[in-house]
Structure 1
């Protein structure tokens, strides 16, 4: 139940801007909550507005809907074409030294997170502090999960980090904004 918290939070974030139907359909039935939220935000920003209920125009809403529908649907055909060569490459490295698989996966993950963090960090001190705080909280959760009594924490580190980020942003925004 707890790992689905990011999906519910993504829907809650999108509902004031896009209404109930589109975010619920996209995240619960069709798409991925993370991809849908990023796609909608980028589509709104491409139209020159922020992804908020006060600045969203009908044109930006339509652009977000199309972006969520087409942009997130393109992933499946790409995966079908790209997955086999990637798996073959992984198999080659796995046969030579399996540690490389973890290194490549970690590098890809860090690259995606860094790109997102840098883009969000440019928006001001509050997003930057929330990103840093979430990184530290996630790190502490993963360190604590090494304790056998807290092994369960590894499965819940992501949703707990999201909740921590929301609470942290609610605390520091009035102080720094």
Structure 2
């Protein structure tokens, strides 16, 4: 079977239907979470305007990461098929991790993604590897996610101010952990991180002006785009 025939199988209507069912579940979950969030906003001290502002901020902030995923779509579609790419990039895991797991799966049966010797066996192995990669995320979330708030509250000792500092520190540490290796790589990687960080700081400072307060909501999205532009230009 030629590579063209293998990809025809990967893009078959049956696979599209299966992927569509999975994506439909995600869409329904998203709508339900949004409805629950707005419904219970006042119960946690948020007004409807605050809830709308938070929703808009999150929506705008997702544009930057979505662009990077969109770029990966082209490569993954050619390697593992459109349905699998569409489904997996709508579910758990990062795009780069998913692509790497597909390569590992194909290599486990002695094949290479996209090569002329790529068979249905290699395709099946790559799909299995992609699925196995996502299972780890789901298992950890299922057993530990509901316990994390109790852990956070216990560590914070019930002091809301300390909890805010703790949450902010953990967030900074997490982003720092992921950013540090990229900075050390130099070139486009470091320039992307630095440009994004500096632009974020500048926009937050400028947003202190009452007339430019709206910029605070868009700062993260703009910073991500600026970082990617600098990375591509200087890489």
TM-score, structure 2 length as denominator? 0.54
The structure whose RCO (Cα within 8 Å, separation 6+) is larger is 2
Question: Aligned match of 1:15 in 68, 73, 79?
Answer: 73
Q: Do the aligned partners of 1:18 and 1:61 also contact (CA within 8 Å) in 2?
A: no
Residue number in structure 2 paired with 1:57: 113
Give structure 1 regions of 4+ aligned residues with deviation exceeding 6 angstroms. 44-47, 59-64
Q: Which residue of 1 aligns with 2:21?
A: none
1:4–1:92 Cα change, 3 Å: closer
Deviation at 1:66, TM superposition (A): 4.9
Q: 2: distance between equivalents of 1:82 and 1:119?
A: 27
In the TM superposition, residue 160 of structure 1 has moved relative to its aligned partner by: 1.1
Map Cα deviations across residues 64-92 of structure 1 (whole Å, 9 max, x no partner): 75555333343333223223432123334
* Residues 8, 129 of structure 1: alpha-carbon distance in 2 compared, 3 angstrom cutoff: closer
CA deviation string 1:129-167 (max 9, x = no partner): 221111111111222233333333222222211210122
Picking from 94, 105, 108, the partner of 2:170 is 108
Pair 84,8 (structure 1): closer, same or farther in 2 beyond 3 Å:
closer
Distance 1:123-1:42 versus aligned 2 partners, 3 A rule: farther
Give ranges in structure 2 of 5+ residues lacking alignment.
1-58, 106-111
How many positions carry a matched residue from both structures?
A: 161
CA apart distance, 1:121 = 2.6
Q: Is the 8 A contact 2:207 2:214 kept in 1?
A: yes
What is the alpha-carbon distance in structure 2 between the residues aligned to residue 104 and residue 126 of structure 1? 32
Larger CA Rg, structure 1 vs 2 = 2
For 1:1-177, what aligned pairs fall within 5 Å after superposition? 2-19=60-77, 20-28=82-90, 30-31=91-92, 35-40=93-98, 43=101, 57-58=113-114, 66=128, 68-92=130-154, 96-173=158-235
CA distance in 2, matches of 1:3, 1:80: 26
Q: TM-score, normalization: structure 1? A: 0.69
1:100-138: per-residue Cα shift (whole Å, max 9, x none)?
A: 222222222222222222222333322112211111111
Distance 1:74 1:148, change over 3 A: farther
Shift of 1:63: 7.7
Q: Secondary structure at the match of 2:185?
A: coil
Point out the more displaced range, 64-73 or 140-149: 64-73
